[in-house]
């Protein structure tokens, strides 16, 4: 049976359950690196502007902006930040990156979008691990601080208006897509309790899947799930965090929606 929930969060058989398992396994660790929600503007023509904001359960906030400079070239600017104080761990994280690349449409009615982007950026990470002695109640602190550089390559594949959700007498088109990002992260100025430590680097593969529900022609609600895979065995720069977020994406200046959705799902 198809429901509004399964329409907005569509499983895709083995891929979906493999991703869910990866989310569980990678969501409980610690790392100096936190993946952000990739920028997927779904451009179709020159002059389009995309902006989005997303938040994860851990409180990591991502802001994405993009602009289509021509009919096939776009530029990106992304930022993310986190400030969290908890009983066992405090975390502050900031990241800014920029990039550019190619996009094109294809398929029936040009409703498929392929985008390839590359870019670079940097940021800082400050993590304090806290441990309390059960007998004395004395607290022990381990503070990790580092700056880092980042380089990425990203491929996005999106499908516009494949289905729609019928709710309260209205049709809400659903867009689906995936993005595969490869990131090289290089730490520097790393200290442990203010003492210089060994800096690390790593290569991360960051596949994500997303669903967008169109609230109006310009505003979409986005659900994102994904994971992070580290190709190098590291102690502090590990693939400890996954991507699970909710947010909004605003697109203006795009191609008019001149066809009806090919499928419709009615809410019970």
Q: Tens digits of per-residue pLDDT, 92-133?
A: 999 999 999 999 998 877 778 999 999 999 999 999 999 888
- Which segments of the chain does DSSP mark as H helices, in order? 4-8, 13-26
> What sign does the dihedral 35-36-41-42 (CA atoms) show?
positive
Domain of 247, in residue numbers: 4-266
What's residue 257's pLDDT? 44
Asked whether residue 263 carries a pLDDT value surpassing 70, the answer given is: no
pTM: 0.82
Confidence class for position 256, pLDDT limits 50, 70, 90? low
Stronger pLDDT, 166 or 35, i.e. the higher one:
35
Confidence class for position 7, pLDDT limits 50, 70, 90? very low
Cβ 78 vs Cβ 40: under 8 Å: no
Rounded CA gap, 259 and 109, in Å?
8
Stronger pLDDT, 216 or 151, i.e. the higher one:
151
Stronger pLDDT, 165 or 227, i.e. the higher one:
227
Stronger pLDDT, 225 or 168, i.e. the higher one:
225
Cβ 111 vs Cβ 160: under 8 Å: yes
Instruction: Convert the pLDDT of each residue in 143-156 to its tens digit.
Output: 999 999 999 999 99
Asked whether residue 57 carries a pLDDT value surpassing 50, the answer given is: yes
Asked whether residue 50 carries a pLDDT value surpassing 60, the answer given is: yes
Rounded CA gap, 80 and 53, in Å?
10
CB contact set of 207 (below 8 Å; sequence gap of 6+): 19, 178, 179, 180, 181, 226, 227, 229
Q: What is the CATH number of the domain that holds 103?
A: 2.40.128
What's residue 192's pLDDT? 95
Instruction: Convert the pLDDT of each residue in 58-79 to its tens digit.
Output: 899 999 999 999 999 999 999 9
Domain count, the chain: 1
What's residue 6's pLDDT? 42
Cβ 100 vs Cβ 74: under 8 Å: yes
Structure-token pair, residue 101: 């690349």
103 CB neighbour count, 10 Å cutoff: 24
């Amino acid at each position: 049976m198809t429901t509004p929930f399964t329409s907005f969060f569509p499983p895709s058989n083995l891929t979906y359950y493999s991703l869910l398992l990866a989310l569980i396994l990678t969501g409980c660790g610690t790392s100096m690196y936190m993946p952000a929600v990739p920028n997927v503007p779904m451009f179709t023509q020159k002059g389009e502007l995309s902006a989005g904001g997303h938040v994860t359960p851990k409180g990591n906030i991502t802001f994405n902006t993009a602009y289509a400079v021509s009919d096939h070239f776009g530029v990106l600017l992304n930022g993310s930040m986190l400030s969290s104080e908890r009983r066992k761990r405090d975390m502050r994280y900031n990241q800014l990156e920029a990039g550019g690349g190619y996009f094109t449409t294809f398929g029936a009615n040009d409703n498929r979008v392929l985008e390839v982007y590359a870019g670079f950026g940097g940021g800082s990470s400050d993590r304090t691990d806290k441990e309390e002695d059960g007998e004395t109640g004395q607290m022990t602190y381990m503070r990790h601080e580092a700056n880092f550089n980042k380089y990425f390559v990203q491929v996005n594949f999106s499908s516009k208006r494949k289905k729609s959700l019928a709710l309260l007498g209205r049709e809400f088109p659903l867009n689906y897509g995936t993005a595969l990002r490869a990131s090289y992260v290089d730490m520097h100025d790393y200290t442990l309790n203010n003492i210089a430590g060994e800096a690390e680097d790593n290569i991360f593969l960051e596949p994500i899947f997303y669903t967008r529900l169109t609230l109006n022609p310009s505003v979409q609600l986005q659900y994102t799930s994904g994971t992070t895979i580290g190709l190098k065995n590291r102690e502090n720069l590990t693939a400890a965090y996954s991507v699970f977020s909710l947010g909004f994406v605003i697109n203006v200046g795009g191609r008019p929606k001149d066809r009806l959705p090919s499928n419709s799902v009615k809410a019970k």
